Chain A
Amino acid sequence: MTNQKDDREVVIAIENVYKSFGDKHVLRGVDLHLHKGENVAILGRSGTGKSVLIKIIVRLLQQDRGAVRVLGSNVESLHEKELMALRLKIGFSFQNSALYDSMTVAQNLEFPLVRNVRHLKRSEVESAIDEVLEAVGLLAAKHQMPSELSGGQKKRIGIARTLILRPGIMLYDEPTSGLDPLTSIEINSLINEVRERYHTSSIIITHDLTCAKTTSDRVAMLFDGNFIEEGPFDEVFQSTDERIRDFYNYNFIQQ
């Protein structure tokens, strides 16, 4: 594992985190730091605890042991109001987009905005919605229902819904899963655009090597509940570790 000194501000610090579900030990002492302005991809096979890890960051799940600090706050010990305030600074893009299916696209975006930013004028709400829809390239879908959108469009709207609250940190859970290669490339470009336009730091959970390579500064390989390798993409995949080679080859064959 690469242990380089980095003086940049740490926005997420995961230290020695353990998590089990019954007898299944999913995370076994995980450590990871995300620096300001950085994109880190967490790679690993299905069921290795990648999604569990980012759910712990926003306290959708709680770790059994270890500490998670986001922007200096220990997530586990936050009171409800403090947690809410912290969550406003974190955008979470779900694997299945998790759009509210009884609401139109515009209502999906308006819902978190008007509940978190009170006393907004109607025109301000509309312009905020238009701005993020334009950022994800889906202004035309404003009045459509989620059921009318393709998988890629849903992912984009899911990302737009998080962007409307202007988060400083983005957590992407499998942003390209279930998408065709061309749409995946579009989503990868969008992740990079979001980083540039909104100055976000991101953790990208994926098992798609193209996504990891094109969107991240660093990758971390999760295997059996622990990171076995961490560093720039090319360095990690030059490893002679058989588990990493297998993962790389498998992805290559899949593509």
Chain B
Amino acid sequence: MQLKQQANNYNTGKVIPFFTGLYLAGAFVARFFREVFRRPFEWKETVRQCYDVGYNSLPLITLTGFVTGFVFTKQSRPSLAEFGASSWLPSLVAIAIIRALAPLVTALIAAGKVGSNIGAELGSMRVTEQIDAMEVSAINPYKYLVVTRVLATTFMIPILMCYTAFVAMMGSYMNVHANEATSFISFFQQAFEKISFLDIFSSLIKSVVFGFTIGIVGCYKGYNATMGTEGVGRAANASVVLSMFLIFVEEILIVQITNNMRGT
């Protein structure tokens, strides 16, 4: 609330609010790292949030992952067949899924589902003074609401990413099996032939970064929501848009870094 007041005080023109906004967002992120290691820890609430983020996203993630793997395989086959390289299909699909599709698809789905949910929930709590009620009851709302949600998305998005990759590979296998009658073991042997530790590790790191981004952006937008119910809608919408934008920027940066590490 005090940060918002600082912004109001500088609310003239467009340039100053932009930099004030950056400062406030930076301060919000920095506060997370200060609060996360401070007692008391809200374990119960963190576990509840992990359940919300993880378990409740499973149906959508399963469907999206399966369709991604299945369709990607189906669409890639004709191009590979032109060069007589249909046998490379499992490797190609595995590289695409593990290096790029699984982290990105999981993050985008989570940004839409979890990010908007966090933005709307915290936004609603802000405009109905529930966050103020925590403050005046000597409870640290940042710790209870923000730290728990950001931890949940940071832990759960990598796990969901692994699950998405598995489901997408299963979708791909079903398509390959239907067309080439490749066995399950043979498909996965071929698929993992070209996958290195760096591929898996970089995807996990990417997912951790994406998860943190989704959580902190949703919380920031919701926590600082204003202007009643309209503000709640704006917070939810802005959570999704900004998360997705940042996810794409991070994707490009991390791909550059891992490609440099690979020497490609």
Q: Let me know if A120 is at the binding interface, CB within 8 A.
A: no
Q: Let me know if B179 is at the binding interface, CB within 8 A.
A: no
- CB-CB under 8 A from B132, the residues of chain A are 55, 60, 94, 98
**Candidates A62, A96, A165; contact of B5 at CB < 8 Å:** A62
- CB-CB under 8 A from B5, the residues of chain A are 61-62
B2 to chain A, nearest CB (A): 6
Q: Mark B122-150, 1 if CB is under 8 A from A, else 0.
A: 00010011101111111110000000000
How many residues on the A side are at the interface (Cβ–Cβ under 8 A)?
A: 27
Check A87/B1 contact, CB under 8 A, given A21-B8, A94-B129: no
A174 to chain B, nearest CB (A): 12
B60 to chain A, nearest CB (A): 22
The answer to whether A101 and B8 have CB atoms under 8 Å apart is no
- CB-CB under 8 A from A161, the residues of chain B are 133, 137
CA distance A161 to B129 in the complex (A): 14
The answer to whether B136 and A90 have CB atoms under 8 Å apart is yes
Q: Let me know if B259 is at the binding interface, CB within 8 A.
A: no
The answer to whether A22 and B136 have CB atoms under 8 Å apart is no
The answer to whether A112 and B128 have CB atoms under 8 Å apart is no
- CB-CB under 8 A from A96, the residues of chain B are 128-129
B252 to chain A, nearest CB (A): 38
The answer to whether A87 and B136 have CB atoms under 8 Å apart is yes
The answer to whether B139 and A100 have CB atoms under 8 Å apart is no
Interface of chain A residues 38 through 76 with chain B (CB within 8 A): 55, 58, 60-62
Q: Let me know if B189 is at the binding interface, CB within 8 A.
A: no
**Candidates B8, B125, B128, B136; contact of A60 at CB < 8 Å:** B136
**Candidates A22, A85, A92, A116; contact of B133 at CB < 8 Å:** A92
**Candidates A21, A60, A87; contact of B138 at CB < 8 Å:** A87
Q: Let me know if A88 is at the binding interface, CB within 8 A.
A: yes
**Candidates A60, A61, A62, A116; contact of B139 at CB < 8 Å:** A116
The answer to whether B136 and A92 have CB atoms under 8 Å apart is yes
The answer to whether B130 and A100 have CB atoms under 8 Å apart is yes
B46 to chain A, nearest CB (A): 15
A219 to chain B, nearest CB (A): 24
Check A87/B135 contact, CB under 8 A, given A22-B8, A62-B5, A98-B128: yes
CA distance A115 to B134 in the complex (A): 10
Q: Let me know if B11 is at the binding interface, CB within 8 A.
A: yes
**Candidates A62, A84, A98; contact of B130 at CB < 8 Å:** A98
Interface of chain B residues 1 through 56 with chain A (CB within 8 A): 1-2, 5, 8, 11, 40
CA distance A94 to B138 in the complex (A): 15
Interface of chain A residues 177 through 207 with chain B (CB within 8 A): none
- CB-CB under 8 A from B130, the residues of chain A are 98-101
CA distance A90 to B137 in the complex (A): 8
The answer to whether A61 and B1 have CB atoms under 8 Å apart is yes
- CB-CB under 8 A from A22, the residues of chain B are 8, 11
- CB-CB under 8 A from A112, the residues of chain B are 134, 137-139
The answer to whether A60 and B137 have CB atoms under 8 Å apart is no
Q: Let me know if A252 is at the binding interface, CB within 8 A.
A: no
CA distance A111 to B1 in the complex (A): 22
CA distance A51 to B129 in the complex (A): 13
Check A115/B139 contact, CB under 8 A, given A21-B8, A62-B2: yes
- CB-CB under 8 A from B1, the residues of chain A are 60-61
The answer to whether A88 and B8 have CB atoms under 8 Å apart is no
B20 to chain A, nearest CB (A): 14
Q: Mark A101-118, 1 if CB is under 8 A from B, else 0.
A: 100000000011001100
CA distance A28 to B199 in the complex (A): 63
B215 to chain A, nearest CB (A): 18
> Can you sample 12 A-B contacts with CB below 8 Å?
A60-B1, A60-B135, A87-B137, A88-B138, A92-B136, A94-B133, A98-B130, A99-B130, A100-B133, A112-B134, A116-B137, A165-B137
Q: Give chain B's interface residues, CB within 8 Å of chain A.
A: 1-2, 5, 8, 11, 40, 125, 128-130, 132-140
Q: Give chain A's interface residues, CB within 8 Å of chain B.
A: 21-22, 55, 58, 60-62, 84-85, 87-88, 90, 92, 94-96, 98-101, 111-112, 115-116, 161-162, 165
Q: Which 7 A-B pairs have the closest CB atoms?
A: A112-B137, A98-B133, A98-B129, A92-B136, A84-B138, A87-B138, A88-B138
